[in-house]
Amino acid sequence: MSNKKVNNSKFAIRLPIIIAITLAAGIQIGAKFFGSKSVVGDVVKSSSKFKEILTYIDRSYVDEVDTDSLAEYGIAKMLEKLDPHTAYLPAKEAELAMSELQNGFDGIGVEFNIYNDTVYVVTPLSGGPSEEVGIQSGDAIISANETELTGEKLNTRLIFNTLRGPKGTKVDMKIKRKGYAELLDFTVYRDKIPTYSVDAAYLMEDKQTGFIKITRFSETTYSEFMQGLKELKEQGMKRLILDLRGNPGGYLERAVNIADEFIAGDGVLVYTDGKDDRNDRKIYARHKGEFEEGALVVLIDEGSASASEIVSGALQDYDRALIVGRRSFGKGLVQAPIALSDGSELRLTISRYYIPSGRSIQKPYVNGDLEDYYGELMERGDHGEYFNKDSIQTNTDKAYKTTGGRTVYGGGGITPDIFISRDTSHISRYLMELYSKNIIREYATTYANDHKKQLEKLSIDQYVKTFAVDNSMLSQIKKNASALSIDYSEAEFNKSKSFIQRQVKALIARAIWKDRAGLSNSFYKVVNKDDEAVKEALEHFSDAQKLGK
């Protein structure tokens, strides 16, 4: 957000939503817009009025006024009359959002977490500059280049601004490490840090099922995916689980390239349609894919949006994959990012996209009403959709057929073929407080560092089978929680106990067994053992195989 004060709650929540969800499938880079003479004339007339009013305010209003703040407020209110995904991003927010999709940034190369007003290193990125100088998981970064990174004023923006910077520049850091009385001095030279989007790519215990999780569709997603897919095939993979749960979208081209690896022939994968014909396009399957045969299951949920829905929807329309999970978000609008002169950005909806059956998956919206639009996810819970398949509300007036003749629906996301209820059995107040104060991750990191030599004697597969988070470990977690004034409840703890054990075990695994850069295979090897959607996918591969044929 801009530092300027804007009294507009909808504007205040729009930017994080844009970063999280509207890093949209269908962002079209470098779009240009032209209009008829009459339209241009109307625009000039309206903009002149806007400029005229601002000039009078700046020159004659009784109090001092920040006209930049007023202009941004006016832009925000104007965009509210459009759709929920058209948005304005101030310069700093635009830069941060784009860096999340681009192929890396310059920095010191650590995954960090804020805990008790202190920056802790979760892990130094493999091959990055921090790993090279000996920064370790669990290190606390007290300061960087004489900027204090502790206290109440600590936030993500301050950390980014301090640790990121041009390649080759240095960061002098003071590190607090367990077991050392004095702060340790490290000098790290910033380097190019790749951003990864494929979180896992590994062969499961049966030695025939591959598992690939894509967290978003960024610039490098397709190359990451292809590397993982080819490695799995070399290891003997016969069937695949593609996990798109919680994936908010990203670059359209990366999404359709991945869909093309599964779909035979040269049919349409996605097409767009808008007011300006120059924004209309059709994207076809182009080449022989790496996995056009073999059973395929795709996992989705209500957090799967945009590019995720293009991939899962195309695979469903061609009867190529079995879709397992819950109804997806329902975003089928295409944004063009338009760079403005001050570095800010307008993301303007220019068209709708349609998947092969002809359906649009965009859910209904009323202008730019974000509260109502995103509140629809809460409404799904209110009428039981997350727990009962029969409660899924589909628009039966928008029925379409897959290539195999199955009925599918548009106008509200992708409805799965196999429904999986949301698991809330482990959620308790106690668990939420453990997460809010980062106690589970902190404990796992400390344990991994303290028992590193012992744990490294095991292989990851041995660890998954034999290691258990025992009562002594749980007792220490409870002590850590008590030290931070979290009230203990035995009933709540017992409700969350198995989940806490699984998370601690998975986090320890990720800290000890380093996968290829960007991957957290060891983490998912632990959590997937008890993941109901993964279990359901494994049980329905015969159905997926029939679809594939």
| Cβ-contact 68, 340 below 8 angstroms | no
Nearest to 524, CA basis, from 112, 137, 245: 245
Cα-based torsion angle of the residue sequence 535, 538, 544, 545 in order, rounded to the nearest 10 degrees: -170
The yes-or-no answer on residue 199 being catalytic is no
Q: Which of 199, 317, 417, 515 is catalytic?
A: 317
Q: Which of 137, 218, 304, 306 is catalytic?
A: 306
What does the block give as tokens for 313? Answer: 């929807």
Dihedral sign, CA of 408, 213, 122, 465?
A: positive
Nearest to 494, CA basis, from 423, 424, 426: 426
The yes-or-no answer on residue 63 being catalytic is no
Nearest to 137, CA basis, from 348, 419, 451, 370: 451
Q: How far apart are CA 384 and CA 390, in angstroms?
A: 9
425 phi and psi angles, rounded to 5 deg:
-65, -25
Q: What is the DSSP letter of 150?
A: B
User: How many other β-carbons are positioned within 10 Å of the β-carbon of residue 542?
Assistant: 9
The yes-or-no answer on residue 317 being catalytic is yes
- Exposure string over 151-167, b if 16+ CB within 10 A, otherwise e: eeebeeeebbebbbbee
Q: How far apart are CA 395 and CA 399, in angstroms?
A: 8
User: How many other β-carbons are positioned within 10 Å of the β-carbon of residue 290?
Assistant: 14
Q: Which of 130, 218, 260, 331 is catalytic?
A: 331
Cα-based torsion angle of the residue sequence 99, 101, 105, 110 in order, rounded to the nearest 10 degrees: 100
- Give the containing element (helix H, strand E) for 400: strand 399-401
| Cβ-contact 430, 488 below 8 angstroms | yes
Residue 441's SS3 state is: helix
In total, the chain counts a number of residues equal to 549
Residue 338's SS3 state is: strand
CA Rg, the chain, in Å? 25
What does the block give as tokens for 278? Answer: 């120059």
Q: Which residues contact 70 (CB under 8 A, 6 or more apart)?
A: 54, 57
- E strands, 158-258, are 170-176, 184-189, 191-193, 198-203, 209-214, 239-243
Q: Are strands 110-115 and 118-124 parallel, antiparallel or unpaired?
A: antiparallel
Residue 89 β-bridge partners: 345
Q: Which ranges of 307-352 does DSSP label H, i.e. alpha helix?
A: 307-317
User: What type of residue sits at position 124?
Assistant: P
Give the max Cα distance, the chain.
76
Residues known to be catalytic = 306, 317, 331
